[in-house]
Amino acid sequence: MENVPRVAIVVFVLRGKSVLLGRRRSSIGDSTYALPGGHLEFGESFEDCAVRELKEETGLDIQKIDFLTVTNNVFREKPKPSHYVTIFVRAVLADPLQVPQNVEPEKCYGWDWYDWDNLPQPLFWPLEKMVHSGFNPFPN
């Protein structure tokens, strides 16, 4: 991949006071707890990307997608430094009883719900940075 900034869509799936997180298996942020999401594809809307990535990674169907914020994240990790403009959205489950599946076990150790007031450690650093700054994904 050419050395250019890329766009990622990352999703806070909210369920009660919990969010969906999975431990990453990746050269970037390996073993840290991160939100589901991935690369915006050519021609795709933010909402379509969020729906697609959730389905690809967890099997979940989401709805009520709202834009939250955007952050600029430079990962200096060798051998492949990368740079993401990361767009954060929130969503809820279309069917509250649907259970997340680890559809891409080569990229994630598994998905689970975590209470916002008791998040697991270590968080993927872009997420850690947001939490540390007092960011809250829940509607008022």
- Based on CB atoms, which residue is closest to Mg ion, 17 or 80? 80
> Is residue 38 at the binding interface for Mg ion, with CB under 5 A as the rule?
yes
> Is residue 102 at the binding interface for ligand 8DG, with CB under 6 A as the rule?
no
- Based on CB atoms, which residue is closest to ligand 8DG, 17 or 39? 39
**Cα–Cα distance between 23 and 31 in angstroms, integer?**
5
Q: What is the DSSP string of 68-82?
A: EEEEEEEE--SSS-E
Its sign, for the CA torsion 40, 30, 119, 85, is negative
List 7's β-bridge partners, or say none.
Answer: 85
Its sign, for the CA torsion 96, 127, 125, 62, is positive
* Residue of 28, 68, 103, 119 that binds ligand 8DG (CB under 6 A): 28
- Based on CB atoms, which residue is closest to Mg ion, 38 or 137? 38
Task: Please check whether residue 93 is in contact with residue 13, taking contact to mean a CB–CB distance below 8 angstroms.
Answer: yes
Q: Which stretch binds Mg ion (CB under 5 A): 41-49, 52-60, 67-75, 117-125?
A: 52-60
- Based on CB atoms, which residue is closest to ligand 8DG, 97 or 104? 104
Residues that bind ligand 8DG (CB under 6 A): 8, 10, 26, 28, 34-35, 37-39, 53, 73, 84, 86, 107, 124, 126-127
